[in-house]
Structure 1
């Protein structure tokens, strides 16, 4: 074996090594392309399923079936969270070119937009169920995707007010008016309603306090 190698023409040996290297590179490139295609196909499938689940949730909510809506939204999130951004760009589903004003903002994809709407809609579902804590949590998730989502911000303010945090609710609702002046009438009506609830809540608390103080004096 060693004698055969030693008598081999160096030029032939170099040619052989070059051919092997090129073949190996071609095989690796081919495998990478196949894996990339599979990855993109998987991402596309997840996005389509997530979109379908979201649409089902929207339809259920419009019909008044809040439980089914929440279930569909949860399922949509399972498919959409963690979707590969590079694969989305390859599918043409990435974010559009950023304008100078948006250059410092995080890039948003189609999935980001869907998740923003899903979380905002889930907040509305939880409000229907008077689950104020979950309404605030899901509204915050929508706002993490888009701080100027006035629907999510309004729902957060409503849930905060119902939870007894009127000052925080007022801050959130006032922000809605700053972002969208056209919603001022609706926001002011909600602030008036929440203020009345807060005043009534305070009266009850004051009455209890007076009762305790009176009891202490008699003791």
Structure 2
């Protein structure tokens, strides 16, 4: 197959748009940063808003930038404006695009070549935000990173991984999702949990791919994988609940309850979801079942007391509605009766008027004959 070449005078953006049929906006700051080379010691404004900047300190091997999903290994040092080191990793491994590092680094590393060393300035919004991080990173601060991209490996085929590898990668993503939940970033948490489920699914064929040399999954391995998967579904439901994606959250808890009908977390979240959907009676029944399993659970008791009041109000509303409906029917019936009665009176009046007129005419004729 002939290799595609960029004709002289054409930019990479034009080549991608015209030859590969991808709709690329060459003026978009992130697109520019992705397609252009980055000269050494020159700041690049990646997002075009000053909140994420990158400067090459040492060039790497050309045309070796990682793609989304690739496994990146990097040396990272993060400092505050006063020079205080707040992060230091001799070698951190993360999957690009899965927000396993702060968003600013996730975007910046995608623009680095293997062997490249760069300085990355990450504003608070794309670093640790208003929450900061424990006692080491204050609220709302910019972090300056020195990053060396050591190596990049292609995204692994999940089917080719052994069960213990899938468990390790899946649970790493689950833990990262938990980290984002604690930071009140449910959308990013959902992204992590969905990726975790990809790795914690059993292989399609019961083995690990056509070319795999590992033994087929044992019952114990399958059970362990299933339990981890159900934990992720429970966490996913909690994150979806925060984004008000109630139908999706309900589906997630049903995936848990389908395998573990007495899972307390799943029952509680299902009750909460149904409550927020306005299905108070179903929510009450679900939480009542959960309370029977753990009678002393205060969270369940509190939720039940709230829903009980709402269920009573719903019942009162229905009664009032029925009363109104019955009252309206009676009023309609009475109105129809009155109308029928009026029609009868009018009909009788008209009939007597006709009879009276006929008699008067007859008397007139007789009187005329007598006079004549």
**Number of the residue aligned with 2:180:** 60
Question: CA contact under 8 A between 2:271 and 2:283: conserved in structure 1?
Answer: yes
Name which of structure 1's ranges 77-86 and 132-141 shifts more when overlaid on structure 2.
77-86
Distance in 2 (CA, whole Å) between partners of 1:136 and 1:41 is 31
Cα offset for 1:209? 7.0
Give the 5 Å matches for 1:1-219.
41-83=161-203, 95=220, 109-183=223-297, 185-201=298-314
Cα offset for 1:128? 1.6
Cα offset for 1:86? 6.2
C-alpha distance 129-195 of structure 1, shift in aligned 2 (>3 A)? farther
Specify the SS of the correspondent of 1:81: coil
Cα offset for 1:115? 1.0
Structure 2, unmatched stretches of 5+, are 1-158, 209-213, 336-372
Cα offset for 1:109? 2.2
Specify the SS of the correspondent of 1:145: coil
Q: Greater strand percent: which structure?
A: 2
Distance in 1 (CA, whole Å) between partners of 2:202 and 2:234 is 19
Specify the SS of the correspondent of 2:203: coil
Question: CA contact under 8 A between 1:112 and 1:145: conserved in structure 2?
Answer: no
Structure 1, unmatched stretches of 5+, are 1-38, 97-107
Distance in 2 (CA, whole Å) between partners of 1:128 and 1:82 is 28
The number of residue pairs the alignment matches comes to 169
Structure 1 or 2, whichever has the larger Rg, is 2
Q: What TM-score, normalized by structure 1, do the two folds share?
A: 0.62
Question: CA contact under 8 A between 1:142 and 1:149: conserved in structure 2?
Answer: yes
Distance in 2 (CA, whole Å) between partners of 1:207 and 1:77 is 48
Specify the SS of the correspondent of 1:134: helix
Name which of structure 1's ranges 137-146 and 162-171 shifts more when overlaid on structure 2.
162-171
